[in-house]
Amino acid sequence: MKISARQLWKRFGGVVALQDVNLDVAENEFVTLVGASGCGKSTLLRTIAGLESYGAGSLTCDGKEIAGPGPERAMVFQHYSLYPWLNVVENIRFSRRLAVHTRERTQADVEAASGRADALLRLMGLAHVAKHYPAQLSGGMQQRVAIARALMSRPSVLLMDEPFGALDAQTREVMHDLILHVQRLERSTIVFVTHDVEEALYLGQRVVLMAPRPGRIDTIYRVPLPAQRTQAMKLEPAFVALKREVLERIRATSGMQTDFELLEKLSQAAPT
Ligand X SMILES: Nc1ncnc2c1ncn2[C@@H]1O[C@H](COP(=O)(O)OP(=O)(O)OP(=O)(O)O)[C@@H](O)[C@H]1O
| Binding range to ligand X, per CB under 6 A, among 9-17, 94-102, 105-113, 233-241 | 9-17
CA gap 126, 132 in Å, rounded: 10
Type of residue at 153: S
Nearer to Mg ion, 32 or 42 (CB): 42
Nearer to ligand X, 71 or 255 (CB): 255
Q: Are 201 and 242 in contact (CB under 8 A)?
A: yes
Site string for ligand X, 16-35 (x = CB under 6 A): -x-----------------x
Site string for ligand X, 186-215 (x = CB under 6 A): -----------------------------x
Nearer to ligand X, 61 or 250 (CB): 250
41 touches ligand X by CB under 6 A: yes
Q: Are 93 and 113 in contact (CB under 8 A)?
A: yes
Cβ-proximal residues to 147 (8 Å cutoff; 6+ apart), any chain: 76, 124, 163, 179, 182
Site string for ligand X, 47-66 (x = CB under 6 A): --------------------
37 touches, from Mg ion, ligand X, none (C-beta below 5 to 8 Å by class): ligand X
Q: How far is the CB of 227 from Mg ion (least distance, A)?
A: 27
106-123 CB burial, b ≥16 within 10 A, e <16:
eeeeeeebeebbeebbeb
CA gap 177, 149 in Å, rounded: 19
Nearer to ligand X, 134 or 215 (CB): 215
Nearer to ligand X, 38 or 69 (CB): 38
37 touches ligand X by CB under 6 A: yes
Site string for Mg ion, 35-54 (x = CB under 5 A): -------x------------
89 touches, from ligand X, Mg ion, none (C-beta below 5 to 8 Å by class): none
- The site for Mg ion (CB under 5 A) is made up of 42
- The site for ligand X (CB under 6 A) is made up of 12, 15, 17, 35, 37-43, 215
